Amino acid sequence: MITILPSKVKLLHFPKSHLQHVTHAIVKSCLFRDINDEQYFFSFTENAYEVSIIATKDIIDNDFIPLLVMSQCLEMRTSNNLYRVLQVDDEGGQDTSGKRISDLSCPLAKSKFSIFYMSTYQTDFVLIREQRLNRAVELLKEHKFEFDQDSIEQFLGGSPLSLTQENNRLSILSESSAVLEEDFEKSVLTDELRCVGLNPHYRSDWSMTILKILSYPELISASSKSEETRFFSYTATSDGISLIANQAILNLFNQDAIFQDEESQTYRVIQVNLAGSNLDRCGIVWSISHPLATEASINLLYLSTFMSANVLVSSDDLGRAEKILAEDLENIKGMLAEIVLEPTME
């Protein structure tokens, strides 16, 4: 079941060296926003290449950007477009996430949609540019994906834009392509990660722990290793809070505060630096997930950030996944050199 969320989000990128300058924004976003508000959406991911924030427009524009501008953060980047969020719920959960990612991203890739995909403990999220939301919904319905009708009626007026209508509007726009010259840098962390949920009813108990993890990693013994190797992701909506972290970080929380399956999977993360190519170019999520999930039957979680793709697979599958991705990334590079950018609508 796919539900259109009311949230309108933007993406923000900045280097880890500027974390100290946005502490106030992080505190406000995580601890003082109403997490029960259906429009609330906040995601923080730190990996080897960046800090990436995906949050509602007011959080990005009013809380984070002024602080980064004040700190003269020249490396700050933000998306020009607003994105709408599709929430993807499936009975298979994390056990079938790889196939779900591949199946859902396939028609969107073939129809030239640039998407961001986020696997979390509770659900999956797909980010679609707001101006193309109607067509994305219609396309997925054509491929037999089931939608929550109430959300369609609320946000699309009950009738998504037809294919003919969108083609007519896109036909007058020029499409451009550019050769992608940079290589995709890839790194694999040694840490084993888990994807768990946080109990919102214990928010007062774990709020300071989250603040330290996000803004002051040097205060946490779990970060005694080089901070360059740290991977951590926190995603919160009105439906739940999800963490992807190593066991040392998870041990900082009381067991009552964490939701996890009795035999929860441990993951290794393959981080791919896309240098921001995923903002405009189509097919990256499908081109990475399809060879792994559909062709090699390797299950995975996928986490898009502003600059990178983060692919989480089991330790047992890591060797095969690395080999497949090594070949796959060369194919993606060639594909991106030829494929047109996602069409824009005026």
Q: Rounded CA gap, 27 and 336, in Å? A: 38
Q: Write out the H or E segment, with its range, that includes residue 139.
A: helix 133-142
Q: Rounded CA gap, 108 and 129, in Å? A: 12
Q: What are the Cα distances from residue 340, in Å, to 64, 149, 278, 285, 333?
A: 32, 32, 13, 16, 13
Q: Write out the H or E segment, with its range, that includes residue 258.
A: strand 258-259
C-beta of residue 232 within 8 angstroms of C-beta of residue 244: yes
Q: Rounded CA gap, 233 and 189, in Å? A: 14
pLDDT computed for residue 160 by the predictor = 53
Domains defined along the chain, listed by start: 1-155+182-345 (3.30.2130.10)
Taking Cα atoms as reference points, which of 246, 264, 284 lies closest to residue 117? 284
Taking Cα atoms as reference points, which of 254, 261, 292 lies closest to residue 121? 261
C-beta of residue 270 within 8 angstroms of C-beta of residue 310: yes
pLDDT computed for residue 180 by the predictor = 43
pLDDT computed for residue 121 by the predictor = 96
Residues sharing a CB contact under 8 Å with residue 65, sequence separation 6 or more, in sequence order: 12, 76, 78
Taking Cα atoms as reference points, which of 126, 82, 84 lies closest to residue 104? 126
Q: What angle do CA 299, 303, 306 make, to 5 degrees?
A: 155
Q: What angle do CA 331, 302, 219 make, to 5 degrees?
A: 125
pLDDT computed for residue 344 by the predictor = 57
pLDDT computed for residue 174 by the predictor = 33
List pLDDT tens digits, range 89-104. Answer: 988 888 899 999 999 9
Predicted structure pTM score: 0.89
> 233 φ, ψ to 5°?
-140, 135
pLDDT computed for residue 237 by the predictor = 97
Q: Rounded CA gap, 278 and 284, in Å? A: 7
Which tokens sit at 205? 């108990």
Return per-residue pLDDT of the chain as tens, 346 residues. Answer: 999 999 999 999 999 999 999 999 999 999 899 999 999 999 999 999 999 999 999 999 999 999 999 999 999 999 999 999 999 998 888 889 999 999 999 999 999 999 999 999 999 999 999 999 999 999 999 999 999 999 999 999 765 555 445 444 443 333 333 434 455 677 898 899 999 999 999 998 999 999 999 998 888 754 445 445 789 999 999 999 999 999 999 999 999 999 998 777 899 999 988 876 666 778 889 999 999 999 999 999 999 999 999 999 999 999 999 999 887 776 666 555 444 456 555 4
pLDDT computed for residue 276 by the predictor = 63
pLDDT computed for residue 331 by the predictor = 67
Beta strands 51-56 and 77-78 are: unpaired
Q: What are the Cα distances from residue 263, in Å, to 10, 12, 34, 196, 259?
A: 35, 35, 32, 12, 12
C-beta of residue 102 within 8 angstroms of C-beta of residue 16: no
- Assign 54 to helix, strand or coil: strand
C-beta of residue 57 within 8 angstroms of C-beta of residue 9: yes
pLDDT computed for residue 261 by the predictor = 82
List pLDDT tens digits, range 24-81. Answer: 999 999 989 999 999 999 999 999 999 999 999 999 999 999 999 999 999 999 999 9
pLDDT computed for residue 71 by the predictor = 96
Taking Cα atoms as reference points, which of 118, 163, 108 lies closest to residue 140? 108
Beta strands 308-314 and 232-237 are: unpaired
